[in-house]
Structure 1
Amino acid sequence: MLKSILFVRGGPQQGAPADIGLLALRLLTGSFLMWETQDNILSAERMAEFVGFVGHHGFILPEIMAPLSVYAQFICGALILAGALTRAASLVMVFNFVVALAMVHWGGDFRNWWPALVLVFIPLHFALAGPGRWSVDHWLARRETKAQA
């Protein structure tokens, strides 16, 4: 069975194994984005620190850009976690972390790039592959298909 899951022409079999992987990756990624930003949302002091960090790295209007990034990460994290509007939320995160790579991590080594790079490619995967069977998006699509039938 493992051979049939791993070595099917065109990639892994669709169904439970792939959906379990997508679910696990969505839960991990969405939770991380929410956990990583909740302190900035709950604490004006932490948000002020992040505004200073954003300003230090040359962003225009750091008083707007910092909260915009924080709230985008938190909201998109919740959407990714639930598998709701997954492709759109994922594209927002791709953009957010490409900007972070360009503005913050550009001069660093690969180890410095890694966290932001992962947060580009995991959401890119969700944007391309979708959220999988165990998601709000899938449930809504099935409901719509049944309603049209």
Structure 2
Amino acid sequence: MKLKKYADLPIRLTVGFHLIYGTQDNIFSWDRMIEFRDFLDLFGMPFPLVSAVISVYAQFICGLLFIIGWQARIAGLIMIVNFIFAILLVHLNDPYPNIYPAISMLAGAAFIALNGVGYFSIDELIKKVTVK
């Protein structure tokens, strides 16, 4: 199985892209961040502005880390926590099609946290450099 070392790549790229795509508007527009804060406030999230900023930046940064394959296990753990909160506090009563994106992100984060990253990653490059 020579291709197995690349098995994580489609998951890392897909999940990472989705995390960045889904948060970039909040990163680059304070008005969108305020909308997200108001959304979280509707669900009784404590400290909705702080929660919004932490969630958005965590998703954006972890998305980048997934794509480049650096510290991806830690990023995966952070996203597991983020999406468990999202599912339990916001999406729990949603119909399945509406909850599916959060479940997919949770599953992708769990895969990365449990398996790490493969051959094509910064982590692997660092390992090769430090072993020599």
Please indicate, yes or no, whether the TM-score normalized by the shorter chain is above 0.5: yes
Cα distance in 2, alignment partners of residues 84 and 60 from structure 1? 31
Deviations 1:106-137 (A, max 9, x none): 11222222110111111110111111110001
1:83 aligned partner: 69
1:72 aligned partner: 58
For 1:46, which of 13, 32, 38 is the aligned residue?
32
Q: How does 1:50-65 map to 2 (within 5 A)?
A: 50-65=36-51
Deviations 1:74-127 (A, max 9, x none): 001000110000100011011100100000011122222211011111111011
1:104 aligned partner: 90
For 2:19, which of 25, 33, 55 is the aligned residue?
33
Q: Unpaired segments of 5 or more residues in structure 2?
A: none
**Between the two proteins, what is the percent identity of the paired residues?**
37
1:115 aligns with 2:101: yes
Q: Unpaired segments of 5 or more residues in structure 1?
A: 1-12
Structure 2 length as normaliser, TM-score?
0.94
Cα distance in 2, alignment partners of residues 19 and 74 from structure 1? 25
CA positional deviation for 1:26 = 1.1
Structure 1 length as normaliser, TM-score?
0.84
Task: Describe the SS at the equivalent of 1:107.
Answer: coil
Residue type matched to 1:124 in 2? A
Cα distance in 1, alignment partners of residues 17 and 105 from structure 2? 13
- Of structures 1 and 2, the one scoring higher in RCO (CA 8 A, sep 6+) is 2
Cα distance in 2, alignment partners of residues 121 and 32 from structure 1? 13
CA positional deviation for 1:21 = 3.1
The structure with the larger Rg is 1
CA positional deviation for 1:27 = 1.4
Aligned-residue CA RMSD (Å): 1.1
CA positional deviation for 1:68 = 0.5
Cα distance in 2, alignment partners of residues 31 and 73 from structure 1? 10
Deviations 1:44-89 (A, max 9, x none): 1111100000111111000100010000000010001100001000
Number of residue pairs aligned between Structure 1 and Structure 2 = 132
Cα distance in 2, alignment partners of residues 133 and 119 from structure 1? 22
